[in-house]
């Protein structure tokens, strides 16, 4: 819910936002953000309208997400099947069929760095061209880590920020003035740049 009282929405048929980065300090709600996306879709969308694939170093974090008609699986980044998942998603981008939108949720930059070079190349392709094929990559990353990997940072057209208290890290993340990153409530409040303004919003409270 944004400051103007309206919900923040993502159109899954409009590719303009591009790949999405959610970045903040450690323990400031990034994983919760991804779980919220899945649970919100389960409440708002009919089965078959959108599907989710999760790649993470900590699959147990998603063990209690209840969205069987939307969540297709949770893959460990340390497993060989992670590269197979990335290849499958890249094939969807290369030869898009008429299917429901796909969301590839990658929880943590560590998950990318665990992949072999070919899988990383396939992922870079997904980040660049995925939204045009209704394949939406959403990556979370600790703020102080993503700034050390500028090539990956540059892949994301839309950046959503949680709390970042260090001014140097905040400056490296966004050159736009006035970013309220050090004033965001940890774990529940985020912001993004929209039409030259900073828009703050809160994660919704979902049913248990």
Question: pLDDT digits over 69-103, tens only?
Answer: 899 999 999 999 999 999 999 999 998 776 789 99
Domain annotation covers residue 36: yes
- Residues 161, 181: contact at Cβ < 8 Å? yes
Residue 24 is assigned to a structural domain of this protein: yes
- Residue 157, classified by CB atoms within 10 Å of its CB into exposed (0-12), middle (13-18) or buried (19+), is middle
Residue 168 counted as domain residue: no
CA dist., res. 5 & res. 21, Å (int): 23
Q: How many domains does the chain have?
A: 1
193 is a domain residue: no
The CATH number given to whatever domain includes residue 119 is: 3.40.50.300
Q: Residue 97 belongs to what H/E stretch?
A: none
Residue 187 lies in a domain: no
Q: What is the mean pLDDT of each run of 10 residues along the chain (208 residues)?
A: 83 91 95 92 80 96 90 94 96 83 96 95 97 96 96 95 95 88 94 90 74
**Model's pTM, two decimal places?**
0.93
Q: Is residue 121 part of a domain?
A: yes
Q: Which domain holds residue 31?
A: 20-161
Structure tokens at 99: 């299917």
């Amino acid at each position: 819910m944004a400051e103007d009282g309206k919900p923040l929405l993502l159109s899954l048929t409009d590719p303009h936002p591009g790949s999405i980065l959610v970045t903040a300090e450690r323990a400031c709600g990034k994983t919760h953000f991804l779980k919220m996306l899945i649970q919100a879709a389960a409440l708002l969308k009919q089965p078959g309208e959108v599907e989710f694939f999760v790649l993470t170093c900590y699959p147990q974090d998603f063990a209690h997400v209840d969205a069987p008609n939307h969540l297709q699986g949770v893959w460990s980044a340390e497993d060989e099947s992670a590269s197979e998942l990335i290849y499958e998603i890249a094939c969807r981008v290369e030869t898009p069929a008429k299917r429901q939108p796909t969301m590839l949720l990658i929880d943590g930059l560590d998950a990318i760095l665990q992949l072999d070079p070919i899988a990383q190349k396939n992922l870079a392709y997904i980040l660049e061209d995925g939204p045009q094929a209704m394949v939406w990559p959403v990556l979370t990353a600790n703020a102080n880590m993503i700034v050390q990997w500028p090539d990956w940072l540059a892949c994301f057209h839309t950046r959503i920020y949680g709390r970042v208290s260090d001014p140097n890290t905040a400056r490296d993340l966004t050159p736009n003035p006035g970013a309220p990153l050090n004033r965001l409530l940890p774990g529940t409040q985020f912001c993004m740049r929209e039409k030259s303004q900073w828009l703050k919003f809160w994660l919704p409270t979902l049913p248990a």
